[in-house]
């Protein structure tokens, strides 16, 4: 097992305090958006005490089968198939969508063949992998995810029309509402989305007019989450069509302990909150607004799944010891929550770590000792570890003050060791 040192990403939308408070460390004073725990090439974790230049990625590369297990190497290649993040959003992230595996493979190959530099700002596909994700809320967590029924979205745009009546903005809201009333739902969603994302001058002016009108109107109640979100997004990204596109999406508030997964084609944005995010090891993001970065509209329209969907929540499965497993419908990862209260009757029962390949463990409260046939490793709040496949099975012994920790492994097999 290896105690890890993990890189912080300082994206501007990050909270300056949330990650430091969660992990019991000193805040840097700058935005701390994401803590990355994994072996991603851009910012790999490092085993504490490792030689200069050694990272979790190089440790895995030195002996992939011992680190990951043969089944994981067979399924995902000789690399850690997932990346774990602690994510702290103080302001909204970009509206985005992730490609299917076949789209990522084709898109990556096409950009390689065309000689587009991997670091080029207009490059769409950084690698040839898909990027399914899951977010587990540690605090109240606000997000947009997937399309609502077009009729519901149409009703929202129809509420906007009277509050901007007489201005050119009303023509845009009326037109989008009409597109959303197209009889076929997929056509309705794609026509309205395409109209907005094209972001002509009329759309950009409409965003600002609508935001201003919502702020002052008595017709648009300020407690209406969908309309309040438009104003909030337009304040952060003036004139950005993504603010109006948000009306077409499900507005989600996760309570602590709730989790949501994002399949390929799902248009989503994280708005605010602290969570544990797990994803396949990929960087393939197509942005669709709420960003100053490159938006490739044709590629975006090919990638978005134009179908209304319920919010894809992931409920936990419980093991006999009362520990919870969140298993989204992807094989790359699953998340185990290990929650042992200070004086709970289970406090002395070790908790089996669900393991199917390599495991990453993060402690966010209390302490635990990981116990494998190859040795022990004690972790306190804020500390994390890598358990190679070759050291399974692992048990977690909670410290006297209890523990709240998360363990991520692949979703291959039945995750032996849980029951």
Residues that are catalytic: 287
- Rounded Cα gap, residues 74 and 416, in angstroms: 18
Q: Which of residues 44-103 bind Zn ion (CB under 5 A)?
A: 96
Strand partners, 270: 143
What are the distances in angstroms from CA 398 to CA 21, 123, 273, 352, 359?
Answer: 21, 46, 27, 11, 18
- CA dist 232 and 226 (Å) reads 10
CA distances from 12 to 34, 267, 320 (A): 11, 22, 42
Which residues have C-beta within 8 Å of that of residue 37, sequence separation ≥ 6? 4, 6, 45, 83, 84, 85, 86, 360, 362, 384
d(CA 290, CA 93): 7
Alpha helices in 284-324 (DSSP H): 297-303
Query: Do residues 385 and 379 lie in contact, with contact meaning Cβ atoms separated by under 8 Å?
Result: yes
Distance CA 377, CA 379 (A): 7
212 and 175 Cβ atoms separated by less than 8 Å:
no
Handedness of CA 181, 186, 187, 190 (dihedral sign): positive
The tokens describing 376, both together, are 């022990």
Q: Which two tokens stand for residue 265?
A: 């084609």
Beta strands in 227-353 (DSSP E): 249-254, 259-262, 268-280, 286-287, 313-314, 317-318, 324-326, 334-340, 351-352
Q: Which two tokens stand for residue 49?
A: 């005490």
Matching residue, tokens 């198939």: 81
- What are the residues binding Zn ion (CB under 5 A)? 96
């Amino acid at each position: 097992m290896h105690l890890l040192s993990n890189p912080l990403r300082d994206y501007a939308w990050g909270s300056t305090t949330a990650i430091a408070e969660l992990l019991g460390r000193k805040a840097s004073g700058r935005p701390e958006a994401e803590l990355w725990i994994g072996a991603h090439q851009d910012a790999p974790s490092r085993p504490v005490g490792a030689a200069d230049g050694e990272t979790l990625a190089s440790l895995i590369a030195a002996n992939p089968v011992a680190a990951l297990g043969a089944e994981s190497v067979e399924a995902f290649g000789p690399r850690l198939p997932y990346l774990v993040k602690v994510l702290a959003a103080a302001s909204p992230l970009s509206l985005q969508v992730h490609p299917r595996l076949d789209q990522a493979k084709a898109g990556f190959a096409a950009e390689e063949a065309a000689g587009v530099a991997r670091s080029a700002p207009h490059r769409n596909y950084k690698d040839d992998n898909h990027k399914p994700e899951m977010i587990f809320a540690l605090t109240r967590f606000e997000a947009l995810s997937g399309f609502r029924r077009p009729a519901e979205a149409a009703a929202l745009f129809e509420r906007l029309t009277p509050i901007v009546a007489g201005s050119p903005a009303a023509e845009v809201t009326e037109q989008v509402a009409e597109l959303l009333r197209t009889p076929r739902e997929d056509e309705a969603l794609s026509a309205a989305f395409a109209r907005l994302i094209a972001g002509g001058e009329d759309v950009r002016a409409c965003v600002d007019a609508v935001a201003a009108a919502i702020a002052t109107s008595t017709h648009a109640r300020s407690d209406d989450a969908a309309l309040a979100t438009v104003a909030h997004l337009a304040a952060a990204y003036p004139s950005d069509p993504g603010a109006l596109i948000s009306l077409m999406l499900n507005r989600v508030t996760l309570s602590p302990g709730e989790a949501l997964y994002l399949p390929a084609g799902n248009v989503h944005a994280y708005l605010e909150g602290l969570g544990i995010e797990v994803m396949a090891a990929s960087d393939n993001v197509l942005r669709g607004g709420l960003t100053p970065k490159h938006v490739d509209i044709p590629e975006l329209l090919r990638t978005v799944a134009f179908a209304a969907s319920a919010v894809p929540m992931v409920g936990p499965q419980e093991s006999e010891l009362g520990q919870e497993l969140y298993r989204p419908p992807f094989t790359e990862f699953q998340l185990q929550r290990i929650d042992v209260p200070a004086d709970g009757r289970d406090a002395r029962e070790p908790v089996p770590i669900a393991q199917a390949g390599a495991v990453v463990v993060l402690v966010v409260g209390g302490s635990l000792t990981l116990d494998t046939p190859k040795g022990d490793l004690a972790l306190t709040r804020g500390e994390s570890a890598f358990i190679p496949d070759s050291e399974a099975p692992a048990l977690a012994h909670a410290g006297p003050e209890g523990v709240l920790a998360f363990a991520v492994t692949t979703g291959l097999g039945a995750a032996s060791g849980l029951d």
